[in-house]
């Protein structure tokens, strides 16, 4: 029997067409859903950027999105880097809010090395003066954070404006040279 001789009733034809239609429609919908869910991540420059400032500690690295400050601390004397690093809002269209958030610190709490510092303060200034700060002070062998939650509130930096971080360090008279403290702080920016 030849395939060409097979006679299909109207209902059979309709059923076959209906099934293939459902298949094609479902496949179309799946492709379209896949298209709409296609992530589009474009690389762009951050709105808030770090930039070098006049009193940047020597040996520091400052990039647009991150910076590493290699500051010193003197026993029994406060060392101030008046303008350690700039934080610039390069977005000419709108203001952006940012905050400082503590991530990690070494030597860790409970270790004797902590006693080599009295305080390390990151103070944010603008042209009108002090705005906010994230401070590390030592009590015994523990770091005490201020604010205690480990993060500041958000502060809005106007468009095309530069603020700066003033870094203050102080060690006790008994501090031993050669000790290194590493602090990691995130700058959270609300886009």
Partner 1 sequence: MLLPELFAMLSSDLFLLLSLLTCLLEDRFPKAVPYVYQMAAIMGFGHLLVSRMFLTVFDEHMRFWYNLFYLAVALANVVAINLYLAVSKKKWTLAKVWSSAVTFPTVFISVLFVYNYGYLQGETFPLLILNLILVLLLVILGISFSVLLGPKLLEKWRR
Q: Is the Cβ–Cβ distance between 91 and 46 less than 8 Å? A: no
Which residue, 16 or 176, is less far from partner 1 as judged by CB? 16
Give the nearest distance from C-beta 18 to partner 1 in angstroms. 6
Q: What are phi and psi of 77, to 5 degrees?
A: -145, 130
Give the nearest distance from C-beta 21 to partner 1 in angstroms. 4
- Rule CB under 8 A: which of 35-54 touch partner 1? 35-36, 38
Beta bridge partners of 186: 101
Which residue, 17 or 149, is less far from partner 1 as judged by CB? 17
What Å distances lie between residue 59 and 30, 52, 139, 180, 186, CA to CA? Answer: 55, 12, 29, 14, 20
27 binds partner 1 (CB under 8 A): yes
Please compute Rg for the chain using Cα positions: 30
21 binds partner 1 (CB under 8 A): yes
Contact stretch for partner 1 (CB under 8 A) within 24-32, 52-60, 82-90, 134-142: 24-32
Q: How far apart are CA 134 and CA 82, in angstroms?
A: 15
Which residue in the set 3, 6, 7, 29 belongs to the binding site for partner 1 (CB under 8 A)? 29
* Helical ranges in the chain per DSSP H: 10-36
Give the nearest distance from C-beta 2 to partner 1 in angstroms. 18
DSSP state of 175: P
Rule CB under 8 A: which residues touch partner 1?
10, 13-14, 17-18, 20-21, 24-25, 27-29, 31-32, 34-36, 38
């Amino acid at each position: 029997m030849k395939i060409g001789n097979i006679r299909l009733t109207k209902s059979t034809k309709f059923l076959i067409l209906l099934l293939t239609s459902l298949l094609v429609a479902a496949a179309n919908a799946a492709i379209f859903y896949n298209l709409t869910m296609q992530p589009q991540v474009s690389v762009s420059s951050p709105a808030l950027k770090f930039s070098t400032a006049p009193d940047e500690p020597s040996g520091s690295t400052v990039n647009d999105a991150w910076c590493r400050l290699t500051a010193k601390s003197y026993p029994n004397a406060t060392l101030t880097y008046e303008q350690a690093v700039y934080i610039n809002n390069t977005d000419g269209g709108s203001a952006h809010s940012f905050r400082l958030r503590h991530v990690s610190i070494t030597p860790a709490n409970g270790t004797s090395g902590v006693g080599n510092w009295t305080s390390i303060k990151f103070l944010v200034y603008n042209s009108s003066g002090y705005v906010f700060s994230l401070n590390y002070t030592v009590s015994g062998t523990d770091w005490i954070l201020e604010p205690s939650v480990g993060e500041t509130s958000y502060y809005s930096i106007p468009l095309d404006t530069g603020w700066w971080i003033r870094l203050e360090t102080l060690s006790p008279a008994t501090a031993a040279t050669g000790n290194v403290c590493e602090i990691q702080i995130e700058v959270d920016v609300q886009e």
